[in-house]
């Protein structure tokens, strides 16, 4: 399995507190069947983790995993939060953030927690026109998407993908989040699955998420999602010949 959303890097945001916890998270993920994690520290106004630090921390963690005998690949990514279109375009032009893959064709693009970003459709169109598929993380956790699902389906119609969190499917992010996650699943609007793990308590749990997908939507739907994930990070690693290239 591939996890495209994980706050496994230590000391950079609200994720792992130290390298020991990062290694423990990697061990849990590997035992669950994960073989590749895209490290996605926050890239927003609160946690503005630059590429240089992300790169360094990924290198450090990869070396530690090799020493610990945990055969799991970690690569660089970011969870980019939209503030407004102008700022995002500037960040893009300056190459300030990591995409999810080396080819720069997928980007984890988060909505602000305070409310729906009015420029969202414009930004989605911009990314699609430039060959980038934006992936919206944990839409089921945003109140405005729950209250007005058309805001989300409008982004999907323009080419955006969703990334539902395994914890939401399992009911750990409250019942409202679970309800929207299952509605998205039933309507074939779950494009990818992520753990959004932050520590050893809010831990990697993709296996549980995929099992719930099978229970509610069948094995064929699970297979579709896994195949879609492989478009981002092929399981042979061909998309990330050098997983820590800046």
Average pLDDT, the chain: 96
Please give the share of the chain, as a percent, with pLDDT higher than 70.
Answer: 96
Three state DSSP letters for 31-44 = HCCCCEEEECCEEC
Q: What's the confidence (pLDDT) of residue 182?
A: 98
Q: Please, what are the domains in the chain?
A: 2-232 (3.20.20.140)
Structure-derived torsion over alpha carbons of residues 82, 173, 219, 206, reported in degrees to the nearest 10:
80
Q: Does residue 243 surpass a pLDDT of 80?
A: no
User: Is residue 237 predicted with pLDDT exceeding 80?
Assistant: no
The whole-angstrom distance between residue 3's C-alpha and the CA centroid of its chain comes to 7
Residue pLDDT, tens place only, 76-135: 999 999 999 999 999 999 999 999 999 999 999 999 999 999 999 999 999 999 999 999
Cα–Cα distances (Å) from 142 to 35, 70, 77, in that order, read 29, 35, 22
Q: What is the pLDDT of residues 5-37, one digit of tens each?
A: 999 999 999 999 999 999 999 999 999 999 999
What does the pLDDT read at residue 244? 47
- Looking at residue 236, what is its pLDDT? 63
Rounded to whole angstroms, the Cα distance separating 193 from 123 reads 23
Mean pLDDT confidence for 194-210: 97
| Span 43-60, average pLDDT | 98
Q: What is the pLDDT of residues 126-175, one digit of tens each?
A: 999 999 999 999 999 999 999 999 999 999 999 999 999 999 999 999 99
In contact, 43 and 78? CB cutoff 8 Å: yes
DSSP 183-223: HHHHTT---EEE--B-SSSS---HHHHHHHHHHHH-HHHHH
């Amino acid at each position: 399995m591939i996890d495209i959303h994980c706050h496994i890097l230590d000391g950079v945001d609200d994720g792992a507190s130290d390298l020991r916890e990062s290694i423990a998270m990697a061990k849990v993920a590997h035992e669950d069947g994960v073989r590749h994690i895209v490290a996605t520290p926050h890239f927003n106004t609160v946690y503005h983790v630059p590429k240089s630090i992300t790169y360094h921390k990924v290198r450090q963690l990869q070396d530690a995993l090799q020493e610990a005998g945990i055969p799991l690949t970690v690569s660089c990514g970011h969870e980019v939060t939209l503030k407004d279109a102008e700022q995002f375009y500037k960040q893009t032009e300056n190459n300030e953030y990591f995409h999810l893959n080396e080819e720069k064709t997928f980007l984890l693009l988060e909505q602000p927690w305070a409310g729906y970003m009015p420029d969202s459709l414009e930004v989605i169109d911009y990314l699609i026109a430039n060959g980038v598929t934006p992936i919206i993380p944990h839409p089921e956790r945003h109140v405005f998407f729950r209250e007005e699902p058309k805001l989300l389906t409008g982004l999907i119609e323009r080419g955006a993908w969703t990334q539902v969190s395994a914890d939401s499917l399992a009911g750990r992010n409250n019942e409202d989040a679970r309800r929207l996650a299952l509605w998205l699943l039933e309507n074939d609007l779950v494009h990818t699955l992520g753990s959004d793990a932050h520590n050893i308590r809010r831990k990697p749990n993709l296996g549980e998420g995929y099992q719930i997908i099978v229970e509610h939507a069948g094995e064929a739907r699970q297979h579709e999602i896994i195949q879609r994930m492989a478009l981002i990070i092929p399981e042979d690693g061909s998309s990330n010949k050098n997983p820590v290239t800046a």
